[in-house]
């Protein structure tokens, strides 16, 4: 009878146990080409967390219309922001994982750190396999979504659960659901804004644009809308802005259903028509610059503002690899790692114990730790 478990990396009894962190982001195509976008969008838009239309109906629409038309258009948009290193989202997420590992090491934590994409590469399953191969028996899953949503955060958890369902020896798992009101995260956002304003002066209006979701998700109990608005309010308070100096909006609407309002582009067009000369836009829900910030906001929305009479449009970059953000990410990680052995000294002691057990002459083929 075929085993229900997928092939796993070879396991050595007595292998030292490690603690690991897996940073998870949304995903990106491998290339800015129509075939790559077709693969990526096919995976992304097939997720029932993302599109909650009855599956049979949606599959007919997805494969019969969307995947025939949208990949070429999306590829052109990706090409406009692609870098020599690849997709901006992939580049920044990889850098965040590398820097987080360094920050945790400086704090005395000897942990493995990898990054994964919910859609595309490197996949969550492949990175969990890699961590197991490196000896990880405790893994913290940390989505790079500050605000919880069933469409994003829960989908990451789904991928982890699916991997675990076909894994024989499942590591101990922890999940970070949200950090939308974390003081370090809010401070990192504020410093990004203040740094921009120090060089360019302040705008007439600061627009905080969050990724949108269908309005029905709010009524079904998704906390995303409330958490996004709280992030915006806390950031405004930290910046000392009056209520008439900022707006919270939602972007990236897809389809004809009603999504969370107010929508970003119509709001910014209205500001221009009302005589607002300068608008600055920041996207607090995105921890890395990506298509939605670099193309949708800094190109499409910029053009719309200027076309409707606005004079100055400033896009404030995402947190990316900024010092305050990686510091905040490190503190969030350490908070959720509490109780797990992570110190360098602890790891060294564990390795010494393993070597001692092996030196004791455990019978071949048997577990040293059991004797």
Question: Which domains does the chain possess?
Answer: 183-316 (3.40.50.1400)
The answer to whether the Cα torsion of 142, 147, 148, 149 is positive or negative is negative
- Secondary structure tally for the chain: helices H, strands E: 14, 8
Task: Give me the pLDDT at residue 369, please.
Answer: 45
pLDDT at 2 over 70: no
Task: Give me the pLDDT at residue 344, please.
Answer: 53
* pLDDT tier for residue 138 given thresholds of 50, 70 and 90: very high
Please state, in angstroms and as integers, the Cα–Cα distance from residue 232 to each residue in 144, 180, 209, 210, 290, following that order: 17, 9, 9, 9, 20
211 is in an annotated binding site: yes
Q: How many alpha carbons fall within 13 Å on the CB side of residue 210?
A: 28
pLDDT at 261 over 70: yes
Place of tokens 């992570």: 342
Which of 6-20, 206-220, 253-267 shows the lowest per-residue confidence on average (mean pLDDT)?
A: 6-20
> How many whole angstroms separate alpha carbon 248 and alpha carbon 263?
9
pLDDT at 135 over 90: yes
Three-class secondary structure of residue 360 per DSSP: coil
116 CB-near residues (< 8 Å, 6+ apart): 22, 23, 24, 25, 122, 123, 124, 126, 127, 128
pLDDT at 354 over 90: no
Task: Give me the pLDDT at residue 362, please.
Answer: 42
* pLDDT tier for residue 31 given thresholds of 50, 70 and 90: very high
pLDDT at 204 over 70: yes
The mean pLDDT value of the chain amounts to 92
Task: Give me the pLDDT at residue 15, please.
Answer: 73
What one-character DSSP code corresponds to residue 15?
P
Is the distance from CB of 213 to CB of 153 less than 8 angstroms?
Answer: no
Task: Give me the pLDDT at residue 143, please.
Answer: 98
| Averaged pLDDT, 189-201 | 98
Which of 115, 81, 90 has its CA nearest to residue 291? 81
292 is in an annotated binding site: yes
| Averaged pLDDT, 311-327 | 98
Per-residue b or e along 179-199, where b marks 16 or more CB atoms closer than 10 Å to that residue's CB: bbebebbbbbbbbbbeebbee
Q: How many alpha carbons fall within 13 Å on the CB side of residue 21?
A: 32
Is the distance from CB of 235 to CB of 208 less than 8 angstroms?
Answer: yes
* pLDDT tier for residue 81 given thresholds of 50, 70 and 90: very high
* pLDDT tier for residue 281 given thresholds of 50, 70 and 90: very high
* pLDDT tier for residue 10 given thresholds of 50, 70 and 90: low
């Amino acid at each position: 009878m075929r085993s229900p478990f997928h092939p796993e990396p070879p396991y050595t009894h007595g292998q030292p146990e490690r603690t690991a962190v897996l940073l998870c982001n949304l995903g990106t195509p491998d290339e800015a080409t129509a075939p790559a976008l077709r693969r990526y969008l096919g995976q992304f838009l097939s997720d029932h967390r993302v599109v909650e239309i009855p599956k049979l109906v949606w599959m007919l629409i997805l494969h019969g219309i969307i995947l025939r038309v949208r990949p070429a258009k999306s590829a052109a948009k990706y090409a406009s922001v692609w870098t020599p290193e690849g997709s901006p989202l992939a580049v920044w997420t990889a850098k965040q994982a590398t820097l987080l590992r360094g920050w945790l090491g400086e704090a005395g934590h000897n942990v493995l750190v990898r990054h994964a994409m919910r859609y595309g590469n490197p996949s969550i399953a492949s990175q969990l396999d890699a961590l197991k191969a490196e000896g990880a028996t405790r893994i913290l899953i940390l989505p790079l979504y500050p605000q919880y949503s069933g469409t994003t955060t829960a989908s990451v958890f789904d991928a982890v659960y699916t991997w675990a369902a076909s894994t024989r020896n499942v590591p101990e798992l922890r999940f970070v659901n949200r950090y939308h009101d974390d003081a370090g995260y809010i401070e990192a956002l504020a410093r990004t804004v203040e740094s921009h304003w120090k060089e360019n002066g302040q705008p007439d209006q600061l627009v905080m644009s969050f990724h949108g979701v269908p309005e029905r998700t709010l009524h079904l109990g998704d906390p995303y809308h409330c958490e996004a608005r709280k992030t915006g309010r806390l950031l405004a308070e930290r910046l000392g802005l009056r209520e008439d100096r900022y707006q919270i909006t939602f972007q990236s609407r897809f389809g004809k259903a009603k999504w969370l309002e107010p929508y970003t582009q119509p709001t910014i067009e209205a500001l221009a028509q009302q005589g607002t000369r300068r608008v600055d836009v920041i996207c607090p829900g995105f921890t890395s610059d990506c298509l939605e910030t670099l193309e949708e906001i800094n190109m499409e929305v910029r053009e719309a503002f200027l076309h409707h009479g606005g004079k100055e449009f400033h896009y404030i970059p995402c947190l990316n690899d900024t010092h305050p953000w990686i510091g905040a990410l490190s503190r969030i990680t350490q908070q959720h790692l509490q109780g797990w052995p992570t110190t360098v000294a602890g790891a060294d002691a564990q390795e010494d114990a393993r070597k001692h057990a092996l030196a004791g002459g455990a019978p071949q083929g048997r577990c040293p730790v059991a004797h």
